[in-house]
Structure 1
Amino acid sequence: MDLVARDIMTTDVETAHPDDEVGDVLERLAKADFNGFPIVEGDRVVGIVTQGDLVRLFRKKDRLVWIPIGVPPFSETLPYAVDFSLDELDLGIDFVKNARKDVREIMTRDVVTVEADAGVGEVLSILAGEERDINRVPVLENGRLVGIITREDLLQALRTELDP
């Protein structure tokens, strides 16, 4: 049997909208067991955003800081801390400013996608390619989002296919 994207994709795809606020998307990602959302308008993919994109908004002088999630007393945080000192007091102001931005301002617009009938080789070349560090690829059918494939999905499918 020749595997195609449709065979290995996850069809229950969590998405975000370009008008969603960065803070809301960051909070959703902190609670999710994955680290990125396709950004959709209707059922059309217009971008993608990852935790890495969001964390870069709060990087100060090449140092990462704890990013509080929710409202005070900030019961949750994202695990990206290495250093925070009192000389970075403007972080609070910067956090509020960035948290209220629309995701459209930071999303990657040049999204690599794959068609539902694409072969596993094409999916493999995207997710294992060296040109871009892609961990997930949205799956389209007639231009509409129908699924997503992560590196883990691909590896599990290959293991199942190769294991008699």
Structure 2
Amino acid sequence: MNARDIMTRDVETVSPGDDVGEVLGRLARADFNGFPVTEDGLVVGIVTQGDLVDLFQPSDRTLWIPVGFPPFLESLTYAVDLSWDELDFGIDLARNVGRPVEDVMTTDVVTAGPNADVDELLELLAGDERDINRLPVVDEADALLGIVAREDLLRAIRAERLGADAPE
């Protein structure tokens, strides 16, 4: 079993020039939390809910407070957003909604080839290096062929263990 066997072939994508507001709207209606960003069929980035949330809750408005007893050797850190209110959200929305996705997308995209086996897919999706939920499956030229989500991989492994065919 390899990526080609378990990938979703009909992948929703966005373009680098798409507005952040449009992409937010599409994500709100989707049952997943990110899109590959393609240009002329080639993967040039990926944009996730996390990328977009960062636009509306920037770290410069977050105060980190150590919680514990002195000398704080084993303290927890607690984040407090100093100004997360409707006015700030409205300002953030107005400032960012028309921005192109290319301004916020991740360009260092982890991808897999169509012949990547289950072990390689597991390492990419569940390894310690990155916290990613989906792998665009691309050919040698980075053309998008499909996508494998963590959920797809888990279902395929379960089906294999139960002796059933991999999901289509």
TM-score (norm. length: structure 2): 0.80
Partner in structure 1 of residue 55 of structure 2: 57
Name stretches of at least 5 consecutive residues in structure 1 with no aligned partner. 64-82
Could you report, residue by residue, the CA deviation over 1:74-124 in whole angstroms, capped at 9, with x for unpaired residues? xxxxxxxxx997966243122111111100000000000000011111111
Q: CA deviation at 1:62?
A: 3.5
Distance of aligned partners of 1:84 and 1:145 in 2 relative to their CA distance in 1, 3 Å threshold = same
Residues 133-152 of structure 1 mapped to structure 2, 5 A cutoff: 133-143=131-141, 144-152=143-151
| Aligned residue type for 1:160 | A
Q: Which residue of 1 aligns with 2:20?
A: 22
**Residue type at the aligned position of 1:155:** L
Instruction: Give the Cα–Cα distance (whole angstroms) in 1 for the partners of residues 22 and 137 of structure 2.
Output: 25
1: distance between equivalents of 2:126 and 2:83?
Answer: 38
Q: Which residue of 2 aligns with 1:104?
A: 102
Corresponding residue for residue 76 of structure 2: none
Going from structure 1 to structure 2, the CA distance change for 1:142 and 1:53 (only over 3 Å counts) comes to: same
User: After TM superposition, what 4+ stretches of structure 1 lie above 4 angstroms from structure 2?
Assistant: 83-88
Q: TM-score, normalised by structure 1?
A: 0.81
Aligned length: 143
CA distance in 1, matches of 2:84, 2:14: 34
What percentage of residue pairs aligned between the two structures are identical? Answer: 58
Following TM superposition, by how much is the alpha carbon of 1:151 offset from its aligned partner in structure 2, in angstroms? 0.3
